[in-house]
Structure 1
Amino acid sequence: MATGTVLLISGVSDEDPAQRRPPRAGSAAVDSSRLPGAAADPARSADPALPPAEPVRLRIGAIGVNAPMARVGLDAAGALSAPAASSPGVAGWYGDGTAPGSAGTAVATGHVDTPTGGPGVFYDLGDLAEGATIEISRADRRTAVFTVRAVELHDRKNFPGEKVYGSTGRPELRLITCGGRYVKGTGYQSNVVVYATLTAVT
């Protein structure tokens, strides 16, 4: 965490955007063996995939997150955007992709801190552990409950887009924020990525 004024960057770096462009809903599945924990992944979907519905709120009890969600898209370079810097407490959902709880990989992003150095919505995202629960309330009044199966730190310059955004064919969730070393004028050099699988619907 840098002190003083912090240069906020998107939840995903805009370098090499072709590697980072998340798929639109309905993209073809990739080999699940490329995803972390796939070989011995106990977190299989306990409920059938849900129909699409807008996510409205994200809760992660283990790190004290209870945040509204807003639709985000791609920036001019084709990289995933984060919510506006003026809304550091909001989690962004990639609205052209999979809805959380539907079949495929849903993607959410958020800031790790603010321009004045205060915490953003995903400040403690890297502290999540395998088995933690993520709840996303949806506009259809259903809550998609995901279980964390891996947390990884990826270098910005070698961000594994296919691994992060690829679909296993079952309902998945990725949470992404900035992380790693902070360099003045350049920003954070890595991204924290949380991999989670739908395990319940309430």
Structure 2
Amino acid sequence: MTGSTARRGRLVASAAALSLLLTGCAGSQGHDVDLAAASSARAAQQSRDARAAEASASRAAAQASADRARESAKAERAAAAEASEAAASAAAEAERVAAAQEEAERARVAAAEAEAEAAAAEEAALEAERVRQAQEALVAEGLESSPPTSFGIPSIGAGSDLMRLLLRDDGSLAVPPAEPGSPAAWYAHSPTPGEVGPSVLLGHVNATDGSAGVFARLVELEPGDIVEVEREDGQVAVFAVDRGVQYGKDEFPTDEVYGNTDAPELRLITCDGYNSWTREFEENYIVYATLVDVY
């Protein structure tokens, strides 16, 4: 090998070595750059992953908080509903209690009123019994003397003022006037109506013109019918009919009509038994009654 060739060989070797050196330096430098980029990318990714994890954790926490809030709200709504139901139940119970109290108060008032009414009724009954006993005693014992002023018989629609009659000079009983509308009369020598004994009232069965007299319907009276006689003292003696009897003129029961009695009694006397041939009344009709009340 020549010197020139050797020098070229050394130059080529040197160039190759230099090229290799340069290439190795360059490759080392590029490798370092790639490592740094990868490290930076990994760090960025890790940062992103961390932020994503943190965001996910935050979302989870927020979701959990929202869930807890919903559960809490649900529980509060349930508690509120339960409280409302309890309040409604309490209000209803209070209303029932108030209604029961009102009903009890009404019952108490009604009981008090009923008790007062019962007491009043009992007092009224006692008073009625006292009045009845007093009336019975009064009826049994008779009234003081007081002339009659009028009479009325509701069941037959009879009634009038009362005249006073005495005896004629021959000792016979005078009779009331017979003109139409003439009143009945009281025999003034008999007891006054309501006194113990038989009080005697007389009246015509017809009038002189043929019209009905004040005692025209006397025969229609039945036992229990009422005869009322008003007296000058303002009292009204009430008699109940016992019976009515027809007598012939020659069978007049003087003692039964005018005789003494143990109780206050009344006699109503009129003519009866008209004889169209003689144009005279041949009988008398007499109603017997007994005092039953005074007012």
Match of 1:77 among 142, 145, 170: 170
* 2:129 alignment partner in structure 1: none
- Residue aligned with 1:97, SS: coil
Contact in 2 for aligned 1:110/1:177 (Cα 8 Å)? yes
Give the Cα–Cα distance (whole angstroms) in 1 for the partners of residues 196 and 169 of structure 2.
28
Counterparts of 1:47-196 in structure 2, within 5 Å, are 47=139, 48-86=141-179, 88-185=181-278, 187-196=280-289
Over 3 Å off, 4+ runs: 183-186
The Cα shift of 1:139 comes to 0.4
Contact in 1 for aligned 2:180/2:209 (Cα 8 Å)? no
The Cα shift of 1:190 comes to 0.3
Give the Cα–Cα distance (whole angstroms) in 2 for the partners of residues 106 and 132 of structure 1.
17
Give the Cα–Cα distance (whole angstroms) in 2 for the partners of residues 161 and 58 of structure 1.
23
* 2:110 alignment partner in structure 1: none
CA gap 1:180/1:59 in 2 versus in 1, 3 angstroms: same
TM-score (norm 2): 0.51
- Residue aligned with 1:52, SS: coil
Long gaps (5+) in structure 1: 1-43
- Residue aligned with 1:121, SS: coil
* 2:290 alignment partner in structure 1: 197
Give the Cα–Cα distance (whole angstroms) in 1 for the partners of residues 146 and 250 of structure 2.
33
The Cα shift of 1:54 comes to 1.1
Question: 1:164 is matched by which residue type in structure 2?
Answer: V
Give the Cα–Cα distance (whole angstroms) in 2 for the partners of residues 45 and 128 of structure 1.
27
Question: 1:56 is matched by which residue type in structure 2?
Answer: T
Give the Cα–Cα distance (whole angstroms) in 2 for the partners of residues 78 and 88 of structure 1.
27
Contact in 1 for aligned 2:180/2:208 (Cα 8 Å)? no
CA gap 1:141/1:87 in 2 versus in 1, 3 angstroms: farther
CA RMSD of aligned residues (A): 1.7
Give the Cα–Cα distance (whole angstroms) in 2 for the partners of residues 140 and 134 of structure 1.
18
Give the Cα–Cα distance (whole angstroms) in 2 for the partners of residues 62 and 79 of structure 1.
31
Question: 2:197 is matched by which residue type in structure 1?
Answer: G
CA gap 1:142/1:108 in 2 versus in 1, 3 angstroms: same
Bigger relative contact order (CA 8 A; separation at least 6): 1
CA gap 1:187/1:76 in 2 versus in 1, 3 angstroms: farther
Per-residue deviation, residues 82-111 of structure 1 (Å, max 9, x unmatched):
212236431110112210000111001011
* 1:10 alignment partner in structure 2: none
CA gap 1:115/1:184 in 2 versus in 1, 3 angstroms: farther
The Cα shift of 1:152 comes to 0.3
Give the Cα–Cα distance (whole angstroms) in 1 for the partners of residues 181 and 270 of structure 2.
11
Which structure has more helix as a fraction of its residues?
A: 2
The higher radius of gyration belongs to 2
Which structure has more strand as a fraction of its residues?
A: 1
Give the Cα–Cα distance (whole angstroms) in 1 for the partners of residues 209 and 217 of structure 2.
17
The Cα shift of 1:176 comes to 0.0
Contact in 2 for aligned 1:45/1:171 (Cα 8 Å)? no
